[in-house]
Chain A
Amino acid sequence: MTPLATLHHSTLAYPVLSLIIFLPVIGAVLLALIKDEEQSRWFSLIILTLTFFFSLPLVGRFQTNVLGFQFVENHAWITGYGLSYLLGVDGISLPLVLLTTFLGPVTVLCSWRYITHRVRECMACLLLTQGILTGVFVALDMVLFYFFWEAMLVPMFLLIAIWGGPRRKYAAIKFVLYTLAGSIFLLLAIVGLYVQAGSFSYPVMLGLHLSPGWQFWIFISLLIGFAVKIPMVPLHTWLPAAHVEAPTAGSVILASVLLKMGTYGLLRFNLTLTPAASVGLAPYIMVFSVIAILYGGLLSLAQNDIKKLIAYSSVSHMGFVTLGISVLNMQGFQGAMLQMINHGLTTGGLFLLAGMLYERTHSRELSVNAGLGRLMPGFVFFLGLYSLSSLAFPGTASFVGEFLCLTGAFQHSMRLGAWVIPGALIAAAYMFRMFLTVTWGKGGDSKQARDINLREWASLLPPALLVILFGFYPAPILKMMNPVLDAIIKRLPAEKSMDIATLITHSIHGFLN
Chain B
Amino acid sequence: MLNGILPEIIISVAALFFFGCALFDYKKILPWAVGFGTAATLANLVSLHVQHSFFHGAFMVDGFSRFFSFLICASFLLACIIAGKLRQTDQEKTGEFFFFVSIGTLGLLLVTGATELLTLFIGLEISSYPLFIVASYRKGLGFQFESVAKYMVFGAVSMAFMLYGITYLYGVFGSTFLGDIIPAIPEHLDDPMAVLGVILFMAGLLYKLAAFPFHFWAPDVYAGSAAEVVAFIAALPKLAAVALLVRISSMFIGMEGLIPVLMILSILSMTLGNLMALAQNEFKRLLAYSAVSHAGYIMLGLLAPADGGLQAALFYGAVYSLMTLTAFLVAIEVAGDEHDIPLENLRGLWKRSPSLAIMLAVTFISLAGLPPMAGFTGKLFLIMSVWKAGYFWPVLAAVLNTLLGSFYYLRVIKISLVGGKEEEKPLELPVHVRPLAIGLGLLILFLGLMPGSLLDLAGAAIASL
Please name all residues of chain A whose beta carbon is closer than 8 Å to the beta carbon of B410 when the two chains form the complex: 157, 173, 176-177
Chain A 188-200 per-residue mask, 1 if CB under 8 angstroms from chain B, else 0: 1001101100000
A80-B455, A184-B403 given; A161·B395 CB < 8 A = no
Could you list 18 examples of A-B contacts with CB < 8 Å?
Answer: A81-B455, A143-B380, A147-B376, A158-B417, A162-B418, A169-B414, A169-B418, A172-B418, A173-B410, A173-B414, A177-B406, A180-B370, A184-B403, A187-B383, A191-B384, A191-B395, A192-B387, A195-B388
Please name all residues of chain B whose beta carbon is closer than 8 Å to the beta carbon of A78 when the two chains form the complex: 451-452, 455
Instruction: Confirm or deny: B336 has a beta carbon within 8 angstroms of a beta carbon on chain A.
Output: no
Please name all residues of chain A whose beta carbon is closer than 8 Å to the beta carbon of B452 when the two chains form the complex: 77-79
- CB-CB nearest in chain B for A192: B387
The count of A-to-B residue pairs whose CB atoms sit within 8 angstroms is 74
Interface hub of A150, A169, A172 (most chain B Cβ within 10 A): A150
How far is B400's CA from A147's CA once the two chains are assembled, in angstroms?
A: 18
How far is B419's CA from A180's CA once the two chains are assembled, in angstroms?
A: 23
- CB-CB nearest in chain B for A149: B371
Sorted nearest first, the 8 A-B pairs with minimum C-beta distance are A147-B371, A150-B371, A184-B399, A161-B418, A195-B387, A78-B452, A184-B403, A147-B372
Contact A181 B414 (CB under 8 A): no
A280 to chain B, nearest CB (A): 22
How far is B414's CA from A437's CA once the two chains are assembled, in angstroms?
A: 38
How far is B406's CA from A79's CA once the two chains are assembled, in angstroms?
A: 29
Contact A184 B414 (CB under 8 A): no
- CB-CB nearest in chain B for A198: B388
Instruction: Confirm or deny: B396 has a beta carbon within 8 angstroms of a beta carbon on chain A.
Output: yes
Contact B406 A180 (CB under 8 A): yes
Please report whether the interface of chain A is mostly helix, strand, loop or mixed according to DSSP. helix
- CB-CB nearest in chain A for B370: A150
Instruction: Confirm or deny: A452 has a beta carbon within 8 angstroms of a beta carbon on chain B.
Output: no
Give the residue of B308, B370, B414 whose beta carbon is less than 8 angstroms from that of A153.
B370
How far is B372's CA from A323's CA once the two chains are assembled, in angstroms?
A: 33
A191-B395, A195-B387 given; A151·B400 CB < 8 A = no
Contact B418 A181 (CB under 8 A): no
Instruction: Confirm or deny: A154 has a beta carbon within 8 angstroms of a beta carbon on chain B.
Output: yes
Taking Cβ atoms with an 8 Å cutoff, the residues of A that contact B are: 77-81, 143, 146-147, 150-151, 153-154, 157-158, 161-162, 169, 172-173, 176-177, 180-181, 184-185, 187-188, 191-192, 194-195
Instruction: Confirm or deny: B32 has a beta carbon within 8 angstroms of a beta carbon on chain A.
Output: no
Please name all residues of chain A whose beta carbon is closer than 8 Å to the beta carbon of B399 when the two chains form the complex: 184-185, 187-188
- CB-CB nearest in chain A for B407: A177
A78-B455, A184-B399, A188-B395 given; A194·B418 CB < 8 A = no
Please name all residues of chain A whose beta carbon is closer than 8 Å to the beta carbon of B381 when the two chains form the complex: 81
Contact A194 B384 (CB under 8 A): yes
A157 to chain B, nearest CB (A): 8
Instruction: Confirm or deny: B402 has a beta carbon within 8 angstroms of a beta carbon on chain A.
Output: yes
Contact B396 A191 (CB under 8 A): no
How far is B355's CA from A179's CA once the two chains are assembled, in angstroms?
A: 28
Please name all residues of chain B whose beta carbon is closer than 8 Å to the beta carbon of A146 when the two chains form the complex: 371
Q: A80-B455, A154-B365 are in contact. List 13 more A-B contacts (CB 8 A).
A: A146-B371, A147-B371, A150-B376, A169-B419, A177-B403, A180-B406, A181-B403, A184-B399, A184-B400, A187-B402, A188-B396, A191-B384, A195-B388
Contact B383 A191 (CB under 8 A): yes
How far is B381's CA from A194's CA once the two chains are assembled, in angstroms?
A: 11
Please name all residues of chain B whose beta carbon is closer than 8 Å to the beta carbon of A172 when the two chains form the complex: 414, 418
Please name all residues of chain A whose beta carbon is closer than 8 Å to the beta carbon of B402 when the two chains form the complex: 180, 184, 187
- CB-CB nearest in chain A for B448: A147
A78 to chain B, nearest CB (A): 5
How far is B418's CA from A90's CA once the two chains are assembled, in angstroms?
A: 39
How far is B383's CA from A143's CA once the two chains are assembled, in angstroms?
A: 13
Please name all residues of chain B whose beta carbon is closer than 8 Å to the beta carbon of A79 when the two chains form the complex: 452
A117 to chain B, nearest CB (A): 9
B7 to chain A, nearest CB (A): 28
How far is B373's CA from A153's CA once the two chains are assembled, in angstroms?
A: 13
Please name all residues of chain B whose beta carbon is closer than 8 Å to the beta carbon of A154 when the two chains form the complex: 361, 365, 370
Interface hub of B371, B414, B417, B419 (most chain A Cβ within 10 A): B371
CB interface residues, B 356-391, toward A, < 8 Å: 361, 365, 370-372, 376, 380-381, 383-384, 387-388
- CB-CB nearest in chain A for B456: A80
- CB-CB nearest in chain B for A132: B372
CB interface residues, B 400-425, toward A, < 8 Å: 400, 402-403, 406-407, 410, 414, 417-419
B370 to chain A, nearest CB (A): 5
Please name all residues of chain A whose beta carbon is closer than 8 Å to the beta carbon of B371 when the two chains form the complex: 146-147, 150-151
Please name all residues of chain A whose beta carbon is closer than 8 Å to the beta carbon of B376 when the two chains form the complex: 147, 150
A224 to chain B, nearest CB (A): 12
B364 to chain A, nearest CB (A): 11
- CB-CB nearest in chain B for A85: B449
- CB-CB nearest in chain A for B396: A188
- CB-CB nearest in chain A for B381: A81
How far is B222's CA from A85's CA once the two chains are assembled, in angstroms?
A: 41
Please name all residues of chain B whose beta carbon is closer than 8 Å to the beta carbon of A158 when the two chains form the complex: 417-418
B383 to chain A, nearest CB (A): 6
How far is B406's CA from A150's CA once the two chains are assembled, in angstroms?
A: 13
How far is B400's CA from A494's CA once the two chains are assembled, in angstroms?
A: 36
Interface hub of B361, B380, B381, B451 (most chain A Cβ within 10 A): B380
Please name all residues of chain B whose beta carbon is closer than 8 Å to the beta carbon of A80 when the two chains form the complex: 455, 459
- CB-CB nearest in chain A for B361: A154
B393 to chain A, nearest CB (A): 9
How far is B395's CA from A150's CA once the two chains are assembled, in angstroms?
A: 19
Give the residue of B396, B403, B414 whose beta carbon is less than 8 angstroms from that of A180.
B403
- CB-CB nearest in chain B for A32: B354
A461 to chain B, nearest CB (A): 34
Please name all residues of chain A whose beta carbon is closer than 8 Å to the beta carbon of B384 when the two chains form the complex: 81, 191, 194-195
Please name all residues of chain B whose beta carbon is closer than 8 Å to the beta carbon of A188 when the two chains form the complex: 395-396, 399
How far is B417's CA from A169's CA once the two chains are assembled, in angstroms?
A: 11
- CB-CB nearest in chain A for B389: A195
How far is B372's CA from A128's CA once the two chains are assembled, in angstroms?
A: 13
How far is B410's CA from A157's CA once the two chains are assembled, in angstroms?
A: 10
Chain B 425-465 per-residue mask, 1 if CB under 8 angstroms from chain A, else 0: 00000000000000000000000000110010001000000
How far is B452's CA from A160's CA once the two chains are assembled, in angstroms?
A: 35
How far is B384's CA from A455's CA once the two chains are assembled, in angstroms?
A: 50
